[in-house]
Amino acid sequence: MAEHTKLPWKLDGTYITNEDPNDVRSPSIADCGRSPTIDRKTQISNAAFIVEAVNNHDRLTRENEAMRKALYQISDYSPASTIQPVAIARTALSSLKEGTANG
């Protein structure tokens, strides 16, 4: 499998491009404006959604893994125990960085 175009990607109308001017492999990564059955506003929204998803993927994957680890640690404690699980949850939450994705 080939490596994807370097991040971050950016939006230029319905075109998805790479912000790196030195990356000549793909000045236009994708064009979301080619469908004759989808109106222009929706095409632009679709392209924006793809760019946001791609640019946030790595961060969200790391954060998901951190939360999964914290939940596994918390699940090891008895139902009567609250102090340590709360501390684990707070530590995991404080390690998260705010991103552009809603959540």
Domain ranges of the chain: 9-94
Beta-carbon contacts of residue 1 (< 8 Å; ≥ 6 apart): none
User: 29 with 9: CB under 8 angstroms?
Assistant: yes
pTM here is 0.69
pLDDT for position 19: 74
Distance CA 22, CA 54 (A): 20
User: 66 with 55: CB under 8 angstroms?
Assistant: no
Q: Tens digit of pLDDT for each residue in 18-58?
A: 877 676 665 688 899 988 999 999 999 999 999 999 999 99
Q: What is the DSSP string of 9-40?
A: EEEETTEEEES-TT-TT-SEEEES---TTS-H
